[in-house]
Structure 1
């Protein structure tokens, strides 16, 4: 397989897609009903295949890989251990599988990869002086326990009636309609929560202490996605708190948690597309977030909800956007210098 855009790589081995990033059509004004309908129900679109796939994964997880609510009315080591082992297995399969496919077996070579640089080895920035081992350590020994802890609290709360309908809930039409609404809104909730949580972590108070761990990964791979300081894991997975307030059934909360847990594998893959054979590919959807790791002060959220465009931090991946970002940062530095001078 060859990278059809390889002639566009610069002297550092970096590549950018030929077309700029396009925001979801729900962000355009005036609205275009035809474009929105195609995006909602088309392939690929909002529902199919990705969000539907993760929803099916959550349903299967709930039905076959989760103890009953009755068993989780009291917190006991056996069922907490089941959830922890199940979640570790999911992460090893998804994150480890993608890493093996793309970077060990090199199944598609450098095709659609944003940079040809290797992961850091012998670098003191990383635990064990090795980027991938460091990423695996933080993902498995911090990320998995933290989102499992959120899951434990969720099920215990539902089982004891503190959240949702408790263990005796009914199955009215309104009940399930609300569950469907929350399924549809879960990716939006994730996107909005991620933006504001991410901006919080970029403040001076929190960045150096916590978020810098994640930004040690300038050139990202699947294992970079959940490689964070434990405090950042707590902030990031707190997206499920929204479902604590809204959901009537714990499966809505599980879907929210799994979106947060699983989406970073593809968004940090380092590839625009993950090719499965000659004709089928997965849209990595990662150029938007890759630019954040590359430039640091742009694209704090995602392309689903236009919060970056609203707050002036949007980068669409073009050369023109590079220049606009440099000018924005220059103007900000000048403003800060003026403020400091005024107090001298």
Structure 2
């Protein structure tokens, strides 16, 4: 597939799609059936259905029975931790290996034409973005992810919360399942804006933004405080009627789904005949590029509402410049 048919490349080698960023069509009126159907397909496949399938697998294959989980014991907790490590290694490791180590499709559809591995930087551990990202993933992110998971499973086993079954409340659980991504985006938009306050940006969030040119291992490369905030969206399952599978889906959505905004490519080619996976990564890539735009991922139009939306066009650049100029004048006044 020729990436120049779908975008353009500047003198630095950075690729930009011809399309502009759009908020989800469910918020665009009047509704267009074809647009909504196309959105729903991309909403489910390949990402969300993969995170949900992983949660289902964990529940039926890995998670012990409730009587075992009533007591916090290293055996079942360690098994869940190792499975989460394996899931992160398989997903992040394989995509990083294919696109950034082997460079299987070169810089086709790559937003930033440079590869972070080609330039060492003192801001990273061992001067490597990938090494620091991997270490932060396994040293703090996966342990925090697992801690939330253990808390939720232990609560389920001990009857804390509003747990139910598909047999008892099928429609309610389907609704909760459908709303999990919407809740995740709302929760993280608020947390993300908070982390951009000067004090928290300097001492916490700046670690994640060191990856100006993100790659898969950048996804969970965060300060532990940010990781605790990021995964805390799953605590809602202690408040709303839910099932442990949905609680684990929430955590998979955070722990594995973070890759979506950090792939760095518009498409991942899967076959020589041009077949490719749409990554939906451009919205968050622009946040890493410009810092003060696109705090969310356009599933809910919060950036539009609060004036932080960037659609990837020159008009978006102009709107950002105007907003930053107003900010500078306000600070200097």
Q: If the length of structure 1 is used for normalisation, what is the TM-score? A: 0.91
Alpha-carbon distance, 1:191 to partner: 1.0
**Measured at CA, do residues 251 and 303 of structure 1 come closer, stay the same or move farther in structure 2, by a change above 3 Å?**
same
Q: CA RMSD in A?
A: 1.9
Match of 1:53 among 50, 54, 57: 50
Aligned residue pair count = 331
Matches within 5 A, 1:256-271: 256-271=250-265
Alpha-carbon distance, 1:118 to partner: 2.2
Distance in 2 of aligned mates of 1:286 and 1:180:
27
Alpha-carbon distance, 1:181 to partner: 0.8
Note the alpha carbon deviations across 1:42-86, whole angstroms, 9 max, x for none.
xx3433443233222221221112222221111001111101100
Moved more, 209-218 or 119-128: 119-128
Distance in 2 of aligned mates of 1:33 and 1:323:
29
Question: What is the aligned partner in structure 2 of residue 199 from structure 1?
Answer: 193
Match of 2:114 among 113, 117, 121: 117
Distance in 2 of aligned mates of 1:140 and 1:13:
33
Are 1:247 and 1:253, in contact at CA under 8 Å, matched by a contact in 2? no
In the alignment, is residue 331 of structure 1 matched against residue 326 of structure 2?
A: yes
Question: What is the aligned partner in structure 1 of residue 182 from structure 2?
Answer: 188
Match of 1:144 among 118, 139, 142: 142
Q: If the length of structure 2 is used for normalisation, what is the TM-score? A: 0.94
In the alignment, is residue 251 of structure 1 matched against residue 234 of structure 2?
A: no
Question: What is the aligned partner in structure 2 of residue 297 from structure 1?
Answer: 292
Distance in 2 of aligned mates of 1:219 and 1:5:
23
Matches within 5 A, 1:301-312: 301-312=296-307
Question: What is the aligned partner in structure 2 of residue 38 from structure 1?
Answer: 37
Alpha-carbon distance, 1:320 to partner: 1.6
In the alignment, is residue 127 of structure 1 matched against residue 122 of structure 2?
A: no
Alpha-carbon distance, 1:299 to partner: 0.3
**Measured at CA, do residues 21 and 171 of structure 1 come closer, stay the same or move farther in structure 2, by a change above 3 Å?**
closer
SS in 2 for 1:252: helix
SS in 2 for 1:226: coil
Residue segments in structure 1 that go unaligned for 5+ positions in a row: 339-344
Question: What is the aligned partner in structure 2 of residue 67 from structure 1?
Answer: 64
Distance in 1 of aligned mates of 2:139 and 2:88:
11
SS in 2 for 1:220: coil
In the alignment, is residue 100 of structure 1 matched against residue 97 of structure 2?
A: yes
